[in-house]
Amino acid sequence: MQPVTVTISSETIKLGQFIKLASLVETGGAAKEVIADGRVTVNGATDTRRGKTLRDGDVVCVDDMCAQVQVGSADDDYFDEATANDDFDPEQWRNM
């Protein structure tokens, strides 16, 4: 099965964060559980470290679902809340 490609905005991401981002699990609690149970592989080897650092090109599988880490460039189309240029004013929403 060909892994889906998941683009991240930084150079690295932690294993627990990535499997949730890639929708290989639904929640952070589920991520912790599948990793602890030994159901996660990174580049073909079982890894039980939730904080393992993943880099561009790493392939992560949970059971038979796989995703590959891809580091995005400034030209890639992904949402980055820190640099989003919109008219959203959090103070306005806090004061409602």
pLDDT in tens, 68-83: 999 986 555 554 555 4
At 76, which CATH number? 3.10.290.10
- Locus of tokens 């993943």: 54
Number of folded domains that form the chain: 1
Mean pLDDT, range 56-69, rounded to an integer: 95
Distance CA 33, CA 28 (A): 9
Residue span of the structural domain in which 60 resides: 4-94
Measuring CA to CA, which residue among 66, 53, 55 is closest to residue 23?
66
- Give the span between the Cα atoms of 83 and 40, in whole angstroms: 32
Measure the CA–CA gap between 10 and 15, rounded to whole angstroms.
14
pLDDT at residue 4 above 60?
yes
Quickly count: other Cβ atoms within 10 Å of residue 50's Cβ: 17
pLDDT digits (tens, 9 = 90+) for 11-31: 999 999 999 999 999 998 999
Which pTM was predicted? 0.74
Structure tokens at 85: 């240029």
Residue 26 to residues 21, 73, 75, 85, 91, Cα–Cα distance (Å): 9, 27, 29, 29, 31
Length of the chain (residues):
96
Least confident of 53-57, 61-65, 76-80, 87-91: 76-80
